[in-house]
Amino acid sequence: MDGSRTELAEVVAQPDGRMRFEAAVEPQRTRKDGKWTDVDLDLAPGPDGGLRPAASVADVSFCAGGNGPLVTLKRGGKTMMMSWPGGSLPAPEVSGDAVTYRNLLTEVDLVVRATRTGFAHALVVKSAAAAANPAVRQIRFGLSGDV
């Protein structure tokens, strides 16, 4: 049945002999250790020292703290890295598919989330005073990788 599956679709035999085609717009499964497995975005430490989804289409890793890139994403033999402009990152809090770096700026957290196709990030601004901080409006993440 392996040939009837992809990341986005599968054909399933029904008890009455008919075939059912199921398709999705986001990946539902990925290859892991040579077998199809459901996407599981829960993060855990990976062999590179970063935090990685258990099973993801995206080869993505988040910084576990320190001076490394905030995010490393590999696809098609190319690597893209995104870095926090303030340099070193604290050890994040991990919850499911998300890492939270607390108080990177006063009353501002950074949340980075594994997605089915890569990652998403958001700043959590906790007060009006934090929102008024000019540094919040001028954050420029570092981007690097293969050209």
Task: Give the angle 108-115-13 at the CA atoms, nearest 5°.
Answer: 160
> CA neighbours within 13 Å on the CB side: how many for 7?
14
Please state, rounded to an integer, the average pLDDT across all residues of the chain. Answer: 90
Residue with tokens 């703290």: 65
Please check whether residue 33 is in contact with residue 22, taking contact to mean a CB–CB distance below 8 angstroms.
no
**pLDDT at res. 123:** 95
| Mean pLDDT, residues 5-19 | 86
Q: From CA 102, how far away is CA 111, in angstroms rounded?
A: 9
| Mean pLDDT, residues 63-77 | 92
**pLDDT at res. 1:** 45
pLDDT confidence bin for 24, thresholds 50/70/90 = confident
**pLDDT at res. 32:** 83
Residue 79: strand pairing partners: 74
| Mean pLDDT, residues 17-25 | 85
| Mean pLDDT, residues 26-39 | 84
pTM: 0.83
Q: Rounded to the nearest 5°, which phi and psi values hold at 65?
A: 120, 145
pLDDT confidence bin for 147, thresholds 50/70/90 = low
